[in-house]
Amino acid sequence: MSDAESRRVYLGLGSNMGDRGEALRDAVRRIGQLEETAMLRCSSVYETDPWGDVPQDAYLNTVAEIRTSLQPEKLLQSLLDIERDMGRVREVKYGPRRIDIDILFFGETVLEGTEIIIPHPRIAERNFVLIPLEELRPELLHPVMQSTVAELRALCSDTGGISKTDIRLWPETATS
């Protein structure tokens, strides 16, 4: 995979069922094994309050930085396959899940289709995405909002609890 044909992509990962840390490790390993894809690094892992009104356990969340030459739709399908293979069942919106993998940014791509929206439409609303993303790339520019991740984080009104854990993922956790 050459740099000329690949893009840097940021993925949000979360888990709140079973061994959450192991679920994140397994998902990161599987993502790194995708064709035409390289796992570059992951943020720290954060324990976060659940999003939405469904009563459920706390999440572990991280952001992974990958490089891929897959097209956005192909990457999405591959990530959905990983979720399914790991036991993800889509029954309740914002409900509990063993693993959740979202495409946050795909290079500078802006895409709005029936199955995929890039950048992720709720990035600016969620500290559980912004804090780990800011750890990796505070200067990353949102191509639609024209604000950096650090600027979005400063403006975010999310009041959900979030705390850094000691869990380490791939290959080493980024440092702030």
pLDDT tens figures, 35-50: 999 999 999 999 999 8
102 is catalytic: yes
* 38 occurs within a structural domain: yes
The angle at the Cα of 129, spanning 123 to 134, to the nearest 5 degrees, equals: 100
* 175 occurs within a structural domain: no
Q: In this predicted structure, what is the pLDDT of residue 53?
A: 75
List 42's β-bridge partners, or say none. Answer: 64, 173
* 169 occurs within a structural domain: no
The dihedral region occupied by 107, where left means phi > 0, alpha psi between -120 and 50, and beta the remainder, is left
pLDDT interval class at 88 (50, 70, 90)? confident
User: Averaged over 71-82, what is the pLDDT?
Assistant: 97
Q: In this predicted structure, what is the pLDDT of residue 121?
A: 94
* 45 occurs within a structural domain: yes
Q: In this model, does residue 4 exceed pLDDT 90? A: no
Q: Which helix (H) or strand (E) holds 57?
A: none
49 is catalytic: no
pTM surpassing 0.75? Answer: yes
Bigger pLDDT: 114 vs 94: 114
158 is catalytic: no
Q: Residues 136, 62: contact at Cβ < 8 Å?
A: no
Among 8, 26, 67, 102, the one annotated catalytic: 102
Q: Residues 12, 127: contact at Cβ < 8 Å?
A: no
Among 7, 97, 98, 126, the one annotated catalytic: 97
* 78 occurs within a structural domain: yes
* 92 occurs within a structural domain: yes
* 159 occurs within a structural domain: yes
Structure tokens at 148: 């950096």
The tally of domains found in the chain comes to 1
87, 130, 131, 153, 176 from 122: Cα distances, Å: 24, 10, 14, 12, 24
User: Averaged over 88-102, what is the pLDDT?
Assistant: 80
How is 84-137 classified by DSSP, letter by letter? HHTT----STT---S-EEEEEEETT--EE-SS-EES-TTGGG-HHHHHHHHHH-
Among 20, 25, 88, 153, the one annotated catalytic: 88
Structural domain boundaries enclosing 77 = 3-164
CA distance 43 to 95: 24
User: Averaged over 87-97, what is the pLDDT?
Assistant: 75
Among 7, 98, 100, 137, the one annotated catalytic: 100
Q: Residues 87, 51: contact at Cβ < 8 Å?
A: no
67 is catalytic: no
* 52 occurs within a structural domain: yes
Residue 56: give its domain's CATH number.
3.30.70.560
Q: DSSP alpha helices (H): ranges in 18-70? A: 20-32
pLDDT interval class at 173 (50, 70, 90)? very low
User: Averaged over 113-139, what is the pLDDT?
Assistant: 96
